[in-house]
Amino acid sequence: MNNYIALLRGVNVSGKNILKMAELREVLEKAGFLNVSTYIQSGNIIFQSNESSKALKSKIEELIATRFGLTVPTLILTIEELKKIAENNPFIATPDTNQDMVYYVFLFDQPEAAHVTKLESMDISPEQIVVADNMVYFFPVKGYGKSKLSNNVFESKLKVKATARNHKTVNKLLTLAENL
Q: What is the CATH number of the domain that holds 57?
A: 3.30.70.1280
> Are 73 and 10 within 8 A, CB to CB?
yes
Mean pLDDT of the chain: 93
Q: Which of 69-73, 83-87, 116-120, 140-144 has the lowest mean pLDDT?
A: 140-144
Residues ≥6 apart with Cβ < 8 Å to 92: 86, 99, 102, 167
Read off the pLDDT band of 164 (50, 70, 90). Answer: very high
Among candidate residues 81, 101, 118, the one where a domain is terminated: 81
Q: How many C-beta atoms lie closer than 10 Å to residue 84's C-beta?
A: 12
Residues 125 and 170 in one domain: yes
Residues 125 and 166 in one domain: yes
Residues 168 and 138 in one domain: yes
Total domains present in the chain:
2
> Are 77 and 5 within 8 A, CB to CB?
yes
H-helix or E-strand spanning residue 138: strand 135-139
Read off the pLDDT band of 18 (50, 70, 90). Answer: confident
- Which domain does 117 fall in, by range? 83-178
Residues 61 and 118 in one domain: no
Residues 55 and 111 in one domain: no
Cα–Cα nearest to 37, from 154, 29, 125: 29
pTM of the entire predicted model: 0.94
The CATH number of the domain holding residue 138 is: 3.30.70
Q: What is the pLDDT of residues 113-139, one digit of tens each?
A: 999 999 999 999 999 999 999 999 999
Among candidate residues 57, 81, 105, the one where a domain is terminated: 81
Residues ≥6 apart with Cβ < 8 Å to 139: 91, 97, 101, 102, 103, 127, 128, 129
Residues 74 and 89 in one domain: no
For residue 176, is pLDDT > 90? yes
Residues 127 and 101 in one domain: yes
